[in-house]
Amino acid sequence: MAKRSRDEYECRDKKTALQKESIEAALLICATQFGYETLKEEQKRAVVSFVEGNDVFVTLPTGFGKSFCYFCLPLLFDILYNKTSWSVALVVSPLNALMSDQVQLLKSKGISAVICGYGDKEENKSLVSGGTFQIVFTPPEILFDKEWTEVFRSSSLHDRLVAFIVDEAHCVKKWGKDFRKDYSKLGGLRGLLPSGVHFMALTATASNFTRNEVIRSLGMTKPVMIIRSPDKPNLYYSVMEKTESIEDTFKPVIEELRKLRHNTKKTIIFCRTYQDCCDLYLTFRSSLGVEFTNPIGAPDYSIFRMVEMFTAVNTPSLKQSILASFSNPRGHMRIVIATVAFGMGIDCAGVRRIIHWGAPSDVDCYIQETGRAGRDGDRAFADLYYSKRDIGVTFMEDCMKNYCTNRSMCRRESLFQSFQSYSPLQKPIGCLCCDLCAIVCECSFCKF
């Protein structure tokens, strides 16, 4: 195991903190490079706490700017320690699409970044092991792959390594036990990293239970908690039991597409299975006919479709095309039918409605996915359709089952019961809060 020996790191190993003023001054330089005029207090506290030698757990809402908390770290360490060879942050991330977006963004800001993957050329591995890139993204599986083991143990890389980041950290708890077991092994890497390299875990959504599970699994030592409630007061919640007919359920949305075309609310429909995605996509396609594209009768290419499907089966180029079209305010695409892959880290502005065709297994996932809507603060909608089969599965958490079957408590209060350590909910008035609050609302609009 390579040992950190350079004098510039000794102060951190001895836990001798830098003056907070010096850190914040350097942080301002980083913020400017990333295009920020000012930083939020939570961003500052996360970065300063990490540089002072702490593990840090960051739970900040979608669109808050939490990625900056680790984007800036290599540059920040370079400034603080007057380094002649740049620092490196190693980032564990679950999805290639998410990593690709982040690499492109970082490169546009003058930060070198790379994604490690299976089948990479030896030249690329050599560049990573030599500490050539400031931010190195990797899925968890690559960290334990035989072809990459020596790369990540390289002394050149260890000499430059300043941070171990776990992005979308709720995946540690959600996937670590069965689906992607290497997530459960990340905590064991601490002993292989240079002393003084701390962990930062980030997610938009983590209940009290999820947060504690992630901290335990990663072996985080008394982490500094940077927490802000994921509740979005501009989001209106509603829950309905599924009908037997997909066509009947989505008829209002299909008619909206017919009438409003490119003015239809930008919508993401989350399905629990690939087959559900296909069934729903074919329903829209057959119902709309030649109106499926915009303008009507345009060639049946992705850039002209008003509805598209985003799943693991899509080619990387098609995924990028869908993201580009859906993110474009002038794009024709108004509805994306997707699996969970579209819910993590994908940044698409202007989403006004999230529909769940089938209930997620837990509230963390549900809040994460509904958080894609209303990022601009304007009113948005979160509609959930569930079946008795959905809530009958053993792997669905009780809090999610209760949210679906609840008929009396405010949806928002029911949903956020497992986030008790967060700040109090900022509930909007009844008819703007949820379908159940709307029933008993007595505001001036509802009385007449």
Mind spelling out the 3-state secondary structure of 61-130? CCCCCCCHHHHCHHHHHHHHHCCCCCCEEEEECCCHHHHHHHHHHHHHCCCCEEECCCCCCHHHHHHHHC
Does any domain span residue 79? Answer: yes
Which residue segment(s) compose the domain that 126 sits in?
A: 7-227
pLDDT at 18: 54
Domain co-membership, 154 together with 283? no
Is the pLDDT confidence value at 447 over 80? no
Does any domain span residue 300? Answer: no
Structure tokens at 323: 């993201």
DSSP 289-336: GGGGBSSTT--S-GGGBSEEEE-TTS-HHHHHHHHHHHH-TT-S--EE
Does any domain span residue 96? Answer: yes
For residues 209-229, average pLDDT: 94
Confidence of residue 406 (pLDDT cuts 50, 70, 90): very high
Question: What proportion of the chain, given as a percentage, has pLDDT over 70?
Answer: 93
More confident residue, 307 or 22: 307
Does any domain span residue 304? Answer: no
Listed ranges 88-92, 416-420, 427-431; the one with the highest mean pLDDT: 88-92
Domain co-membership, 203 together with 163? yes
Q: Tell me the C-alpha distance between 276 and 268, whole Å.
A: 14
For residues 165-191, average pLDDT: 91
Does any domain span residue 298? Answer: no
Mean pLDDT of the chain: 90
pLDDT at 69: 98
Does any domain span residue 103? Answer: yes
The number of CA neighbours under 13 Å toward the Cβ of 46 is 29
Q: 397 near 366, Cβ under 8 Å? A: no
Query: Per the confidence metrics, is the pTM higher than 0.75?
Result: yes
Domain co-membership, 272 together with 360? yes
Domain co-membership, 275 together with 342? yes
Per-residue pLDDT tens digits for 301-323 = 988 999 999 988 888 888 888 88
pLDDT at 340: 77
Q: 412 near 429, Cβ under 8 Å? A: no
pLDDT at 374: 93
Domain co-membership, 177 together with 314? no
Which CATH number goes with the domain that contains 109?
3.40.50.300
Domain co-membership, 103 together with 194? yes
Domain co-membership, 239 together with 216? no
Domain co-membership, 113 together with 182? yes
Helix (H, G, I), strand (E, B) or coil at 263: helix
Is the pLDDT confidence value at 351 over 50? yes
Does any domain span residue 2? Answer: no
Per-residue pLDDT tens digits for 231-267 = 999 999 999 999 889 999 999 999 999 999 999 999 9
Number of domains in the chain: 2
Q: 201 near 32, Cβ under 8 Å? A: no
Domain co-membership, 50 together with 150? yes
Does any domain span residue 153? Answer: yes
Domain co-membership, 219 together with 279? no
Domain co-membership, 214 together with 271? no
